[in-house]
Each structure stands twice: as C-alpha cells, then as structure tokens.
Amino acid sequence: MQRNSFVFTFLVATVLCVVCSAIVSTAAVILQPRQERNKELDRKSNILRVAGLLGADEAGDGAKIDELFKQIETKIVNLETGEYVTDVDVDSFDQRAAADDPEQSVTIPPEEDVASLKRREKLSAVYLLNEDGKLKTLILPVYTKGLWSTMYGFLAFEGDLRTIKGLGFYQHGETPGLGGEVDNPKWKEQWEGKLAYDDDGEIALHLIKGTVDPSSPDAAYEIDGLSGATITSRGVTNLVDYWLGPDGFGPYLEKMKSGGGNDGK
C-alpha cells in the first residue's frame, strides 16, 4: 500500500483516533475515583470552612478534613414541610442533580423567584454541628443568580438560628475584582455575628450600597455592598431572602426554633 494514497491516510487516521480514544477512556476510568474523592473533599472543606472549623492553610489536608468532618451530622430535609427525611441515603444524594430533575424538584412561580432559580429541589441536605447534645452550628447549602452565573455556597448559623456564623461560595463565575469579591476574606469576615432576623422575626439581613456605619441602629443587619457589582450584591441579598423564607429553609428553621430538632437530635 502506497503511503501517499488516500486509503493509507484514512487507515492511519482511523488507527490514531481509536488509539487516542482508548487512552482517553482508560484515563477517565482510572482517574474517576480520584476525581470523586477530590469533589467530596472540596464539599467537606467548604462546609468546615464556613463553620469556622478549617483554616485556609488546611484545605489540602485530606486526612484532617475527613477527621474534622466526623463532627458534622448530615441530614436530609423536605423543604416544604421542614421535616427530616429518613429514606434517602445521605452519601449518594445529589442535590444539584435533584434541582434539575422535574420529578425531584418544583417550579418556582416567577413572583416568588427572587433568587432567579426557576426550579428548586424538593429535598435538601443540611449539616449540623452539635456539642453536648445541643446545636452549635447549622450549615445550609444555598445558591442564587449573580450577574454572570449561579453562585453556589453555604450559609452557617450559630445555635440560636439567628446569628450568622459565616457565608462562603464554592462556585461562581462573577467578574474578578467586582462581583468576584464575594471570595474576599475581609468581605466574608463581615458576616460573622450579623443577625439574619430582626426582633420581630422578619428577615432583615441585606447588602447595602457602600459601607456599613457601625453607629447605625441597623448595622447588625447590614453587609457592605460589593463595589461596582450592584447585580451580584442584589443576588446575595436575594439569596438570604429566598432561602430563609417560606419557600426555602423557612419551614425547617421554624421547626428548629420551636424545639423540633434544636436539641441536637
């Protein structure tokens, strides 16, 4: 067979495609367990970090992350009723996939969709840190629409379920230096100690335009806005309003506050 013939060229190209496909497929299969492990460690580290249990310099220590995460209890909640669900495997539950599955999610009416989500999963994982039989920290998975992306993160409460422990986003596509400042450690530090609800139990926490005046009577409910990122800032406020409201974790939080789980059980 002549090397410059069409048949020879086609044969060589076909063999190369088959060989390369086999290499890529084999690599994907071999690396899948490692990818899943890294994904799991990333989830755990973000939960621990927002709960104040993991420092930035410890994020790459898989053994330490696993050990620290033993303190966290994972439960599945029915968002409509606020009740725990016991017939779902917490280890295999994929919340992101559930939100996209019509059978495992609900359509959010436009007038109620303040976070621009369109659909919301029926069930959600929640993460509890208990101490001496009492709830110390509650971590909730939350997400909202920013300017360019859906921002996924975790919001942590102190045991009183009113005081914020922390907020952190683990995935977003906001503009670096603008909306991307949601990753700025100094901005995230502001959340700790803020109050989600006012004295009447109404959601009050929000981002403002500019910086918070410490002498303001509303300072306990205010977070600095993100400079030059009005839409991202609004998205973060919408996240708080939606997920702490009646269509998000509102029913669950009410049950917790009334003693339906605030004892660490």
Model pTM? 0.84
Domains of the chain, by residue range, sit at 14-68, 71-257
Ordered per-residue pLDDT tens for the chain, 265 residues: 566 676 667 776 787 787 787 776 776 566 566 667 677 888 899 999 999 998 766 666 788 899 999 999 999 999 999 999 999 999 899 999 999 999 999 999 999 999 999 999 999 999 999 999 999 999 999 999 999 999 999 999 999 999 999 999 999 999 999 999 999 999 999 999 999 999 999 999 999 999 999 999 999 999 999 999 999 999 999 999 999 999 999 999 999 998 765 444 4
Residue 93, number of CB atoms within 10 A of its CB: 17
